[in-house]
Amino acid sequence: MRSGEHTLGDHVSRRARTPEENRPHRPAVQSDMFIDAVEDLAGQFSLRPLLLRILRRAIEMVGGGAGAISTVDEGAGTYRKEADVGVRCQEGQVFSLREGATGAVVTKRGPVVFDSYSQVRSGHLSPADRDRLHATIAVPIEWGGEIIGACVVFSTDPDTRFHDEDIILMDLFARHAALAITNARRYAQAEERSRQLAIVAERERVVRDVHDTVARALGSIMLHLDAMDATVIGGRTARSASEATPAALAAHIDAAREAAEAALADTRRTVLGLGPAVLDAAPLEDAIALELAWVRSTSGLRTDFVVSGKPPESVESHLRQQALRIAQEALTNVVTHARAVSVRVGVMYGPLEISIIVEDDGVGFDAGSGGRNRRPGLGLQGIVARAHGIGAQVEIESTPSWGTRLRARIPYELNNRGDESRSDAPWRVLVVDPRPVVRGGLTRLLGCAEPDIQIVGEIADAREVVDAVRILDPHVVIVQLRMPGLDGARLTSYIRAASPEISVLVNVDDYSDDLLREAVQAGARGCIDADLDGPALARAVVAAAHGDVLLSASLATPRHTQDQTPEPLTEREREVRALVELGLRDKQIADRLSISARTVEKHVGALLRKTGAPNRTALARVVPQQPHR
């Protein structure tokens, strides 16, 4: 070790200022400052402001005059200045790990102390800064056993020396800097992932819209070509040749050209993010009436149109566009595939939603037969995908030779209903397991079985989970029961304490494991094992996300209370239970009782715990307990 350089445990031989002399704050004041520093970090994800707060607090706590925090990339052999205070601004600059106090920290794999900055090898600060900096202390910022940065504090007082106590304090701030750096990186990754998902969703919407427009136009063009062919053949055989006039053929050509031009215009509008031109200045029912006119002109089908109810004073243009697209695609399917004689369309305005109904008397189809009578599914799949993407419901009924009926229910508040179904976004799942093969297998199974499940993270170290939960906000966390260092039961309690609304599923190898009961008592919603296939695993995840408990009553009940009298229900719990038995979801119950949906979820959880019911449905079969008098 070079002269003047110290590490934790070394003692400075010369007489230096005591810690009390060096720092004007007493321990109690220092504790308050440290608590303030921790509170400053709450809810912050932007890296530089976080690091500046940590750095200023660290400088103040150890009695320094300047400092810097850097992030380290050992693979590249470099470090990057992220924040500095009291020295010439070098934020954003990258330096070699062979120089500076940060380089010394990485080389030693631990804290270093210099009596003078002049002892720092290849220090890169400017001459003006070097002349006024003296004692220097630097500690590593570590995460997951790796050095991801360094925190450095300089003294501007030539009489100041740093001691072991200062290293301990600096290490505390370095831990919070590690959390800040890791959380900021995860937040950035989550933001990028969300941005990519939004891009994919928008691309899918554009593809569906282009498909609808092009399919409608091609269907119209084909019908006009068929009519031209029938006119020519009819004029040559059953009819007089005079009826197959150029004017009749020209009319069909003009109609086909008009359909192509309209499709081209609508496709361009779709790519530019605009709605259908027909909705620019017309209400929805008028736009659908024009679609029915197109159906009559191209196919000769009899049409019937019914509008009931009164639309709200203002209907979002996005809702009208989506409702029209659904009606267009349904009518295109009828014209192209149904071989129907008539089609009936209904638009019904309800208090909470608008319903679009399209019925035909065509050949129908059997979705399960796979035979020749099965209608091509791309159009219907497009309708279902479009409806699902905006939080709408679609019901399709069809019988061979008896036609098809489609009903779409579209809520007025698209993608903003706030209920527990969360159809506006995928179910977010965090997978926790120390084994890469298991994490990868769960991710693949869920991704293949359920497109609406999004894996937001895979974590091997259980100690990182609580921070990841706060950043990634998953609906469900899948936790391995037996993990080194921190078992699934304790981790479940930490997750539930940090975010009570999150559901935890425990991945078990043995259902008789005593630790499983502890995990359940800590708040786990259920358990899964290696025997589940993809669909079963996806069903378990979605059920847990909805708040259902996937456990037997005996497992959910502590052993020492199984033989005791069940805990009675409170008055509010009985009210919630009655509404649950009616089939109402949490948001609907919350509206009825004028409480929040989260409060309803807590009451439902208490009901399941007190009654021993494994899920909401089973509540109806459990005899209610009366309160003590």
State the average pLDDT for the chain: 75
What pLDDT is attached to residue 136? 92
User: Using one digit for the tens of pLDDT, what is the confidence trace for 24-70?
Assistant: 444 444 545 544 554 454 444 567 888 888 888 888 888 888 999 99
Domains of the chain: 5-188 (3.30.450.40), 279-417 (3.30.565.10), 427-611 (3.40.50.2300)
The neighbour count for residue 532, using CB atoms within 10 Å, is 15
Listed in order, strand segments (DSSP E) in 489-610 are 503-507, 526-528
What pLDDT is attached to residue 204? 67
User: Is residue 378 within a helix (H) or strand (E), and if so which, with residue range?
Assistant: helix 378-389
Amino acid at 589: I
Q: Residue 86 in contact with residue 73, Cβ under 8 Å?
A: no
Token couple for 118:
């002049």
- Provide the percentage of residues in the chain whose pLDDT is more than 90: 12
Give the residue-averaged pLDDT of 468-481.
Answer: 86
Token couple for 516:
């499983």
> What's the CA gap between 379 and 363, in Å, rounded?
16
Helices (H) and strands (E) in the chain, counts: 19, 17
Token couple for 57:
């607090």
User: Is residue 358 within a helix (H) or strand (E), and if so which, with residue range?
Assistant: strand 353-360
Is the pLDDT at 288 greater than 80, yes or no?
yes
Is the pLDDT at 564 greater than 70, yes or no?
no
User: Is residue 514 within a helix (H) or strand (E), and if so which, with residue range?
Assistant: helix 514-521
Is the pLDDT at 342 greater than 50, yes or no?
yes
* DSSP labels, 521-560: HTT--EEE-TT--HHHHHHHHHHHHTT--BS-HHHHS-GG
Could you identify the residue written with the tokens 């209400």? Answer: 283
Is the pLDDT at 112 greater than 90, yes or no?
yes
Could you identify the residue written with the tokens 């017309």? Answer: 282
Beta 112-114 vs 5-6: how paired, if at all?
A: antiparallel
Is the pLDDT at 498 greater than 90, yes or no?
no
Burial 130-150 (b: 16+ CB within 10 A, else e): bebbbbbbbbbbbbeeebbbb
Q: Model confidence at 624, in pLDDT bands (50, 70, 90)?
A: low
- For residues 155 and 186, the model is more confident at 155
> What's the CA gap between 492 and 297, in Å, rounded?
64
What pLDDT is attached to residue 22? 47
- Tell me the backbone φ, ψ of residue 511, rounded to 5 degrees: -70, -15
Burial 160-188 (b: 16+ CB within 10 A, else e): bbbbbebbebbbbbbbbbbbbbbbbbbbe
- For residues 245 and 62, the model is more confident at 62
- Among 12-21, 53-62, 156-165, 308-317, the range scoring the smallest mean pLDDT is 12-21
Give the residue-averaged pLDDT of 589-603.
Answer: 82
The neighbour count for residue 545, using CB atoms within 10 Å, is 23
* Sheet bearing 353-360, strands edge to edge: 302-308, 342-349, 353-360, 404-411, 393-398
Q: Model confidence at 345, in pLDDT bands (50, 70, 90)?
A: very high
User: Using one digit for the tens of pLDDT, what is the confidence trace for 215-240?
Assistant: 666 766 776 677 677 666 555 444 44
User: Using one digit for the tens of pLDDT, what is the confidence trace for 117-131?
Assistant: 888 887 778 787 888
User: Using one digit for the tens of pLDDT, what is the confidence trace for 535-559?
Assistant: 778 878 887 887 766 654 444 444 4
What pLDDT is attached to residue 26? 43
What pLDDT is attached to residue 2? 45
What pLDDT is attached to residue 420? 38
CA-angle at 361, arms to 357 and 366, nearest 5°: 90
The pTM is what? 0.35
User: Using one digit for the tens of pLDDT, what is the confidence trace for 349-399?
Assistant: 888 889 999 999 998 876 444 333 444 344 566 677 667 767 788 888 888
Helices 317-333, 164-236: axis angle to 10 degrees equals 40
CA-angle at 626, arms to 620 and 629, nearest 5°: 170
Burial 199-238 (b: 16+ CB within 10 A, else e): eeeeeebeebbebbbbbbbebbbebbeebbeebeeebeee
Q: Model confidence at 598, in pLDDT bands (50, 70, 90)?
A: confident
Q: Is 608 left (phi over 0), alpha (psi -120 to 50) or beta?
A: alpha
> What's the CA gap between 361 and 363, in Å, rounded?
7
Amino acid at 219: G
Could you identify the residue written with the tokens 């055989």? Answer: 237
What pLDDT is attached to residue 266? 61
What pLDDT is attached to residue 261? 67
Query: Which SS3 state, helix, strand or coil, does residue 303 take?
Result: strand
Residues contacting 611, CB < 8 A, separation 6+: 553, 566, 619, 622, 624, 625
> Would you give the DSSP letter of residue 119?
G
What pLDDT is attached to residue 399? 80
What pLDDT is attached to residue 368? 45
Q: How far is CA 570 from CA 248, 577, 625, 627, in A?
A: 79, 10, 9, 7
Query: Which SS3 state, helix, strand or coil, does residue 59 take?
Result: helix
Residue 353 has, within 13 A of its CA and on its CB side, a CA count of: 19
How far from chain centre, in Å, is Cα 616? 25
Is the pLDDT at 464 greater than 60, yes or no?
yes
Residues contacting 199, CB < 8 A, separation 6+: none
Query: Which SS3 state, helix, strand or coil, does residue 539 take?
Result: helix
Q: Model confidence at 17, in pLDDT bands (50, 70, 90)?
A: very low
What pLDDT is attached to residue 306? 92
